[in-house]
Structure 1
């Protein structure tokens, strides 16, 4: 919730308390730790209102695919690898 609020996504942070996992991504990438919070047919576009909300956790990357007007994310994508600009890694600008 803190990461969402830091990105100015207060309404989404409030609604995130009610998220429930309905399935895993199923993309087959060995590093993917994505979960679904709403059913979505494979190979179909998300449709109108889709946007990505990238967040900056202490480790890795966290990207929310949000569909609709800030009600709830459809999918939470988590890459366990450190983000390129994570503290302790070279070449990045560090956290904002």
Structure 2
């Protein structure tokens, strides 16, 4: 029986609710209604892992690193008020949330800093 680590990973909305709210609103604004609904159920499988200080990207599925997404892949660039938010989507499933050049993400329950 295959072990599915995706089901054990926390939902992104539970860890970074503000991010998911922003993504849902931006997706709605871009006419991506299905993805706006789906983004509420993506899991935080892990960080990007690149080590760049400007990157806070999130892996939402467990897949081999460095391999292309393959057929059915598309990038969905969004227009946030700061930095870059880009989704990698395969056949309607959000595979990766690219978060670049943005203020540090606030975890649920973490107080705001510097305001």
Superposition TM-score tier, normalisation by shorter sequence: 0.7 to 0.9
TM-score with structure 1 setting the length:
0.76
For residue 90 of structure 2, the aligned residue among 67, 86, 93 is 67
Cα RMSD over matched residues? 1.5
Please name the residue that 2:50 is paired with: 27
Please name the residue that 2:99 is paired with: 78
For residue 5 of structure 1, the aligned residue among 22, 28, 46 is 28
SS in 2 for 1:17: helix
Q: Hey, what's the Cα distance between the residues in 1 that align with 2:102 and 2:58?
A: 16
Q: Offset at 1:30?
A: 2.4
Q: Hey, what's the Cα distance between the residues in 1 that align with 2:71 and 2:62?
A: 16
Q: Hey, what's the Cα distance between the residues in 1 that align with 2:102 and 2:37?
A: 27
TM-score with structure 2 setting the length:
0.64
Q: Hey, what's the Cα distance between the residues in 2 that align with 1:78 and 1:57?
A: 10
Q: Offset at 1:80?
A: 2.2
* Equivalent residue pairs, number: 80
SS in 2 for 1:5: helix
Q: More helix per residue: 1 or 2?
A: 2
Please name the residue that 1:49 is paired with: 72
- Structure 2 unaligned regions, length at least 5: 1-23, 104-115
